[in-house]
Amino acid sequence: QPGDRVRFQPIDHAEFVRLGGDDSPFEVTP
């Protein structure tokens, strides 16, 4: 699905969540 690849990008967790990512601790960058 579109946006699913975002989890593979080197972004921080806040950015990931801001982009609409799920706030689940599967690959959290503190």
Tell which wins on pLDDT, 29 or 14: 14
User: Tell me, what's the pLDDT at 13?
Assistant: 73
Q: Are 16 and 26 in contact (CB under 8 A)?
A: no
d(CA 5, CA 19) in angstroms, rounded, equals 12
Residue 29: pLDDT band (50, 70, 90) is: low
- The SS3 of residue 18 is helix
Taking the whole predicted model, whether its pTM rises above 0.85 is answered as no
Q: Are 19 and 6 in contact (CB under 8 A)?
A: yes
- Mean pLDDT of the residues in the chain: 67
Q: Are 3 and 20 in contact (CB under 8 A)?
A: yes
Q: Are 2 and 19 in contact (CB under 8 A)?
A: no
Per residue in 1-14, pLDDT tens?
A: 555 665 555 677 77
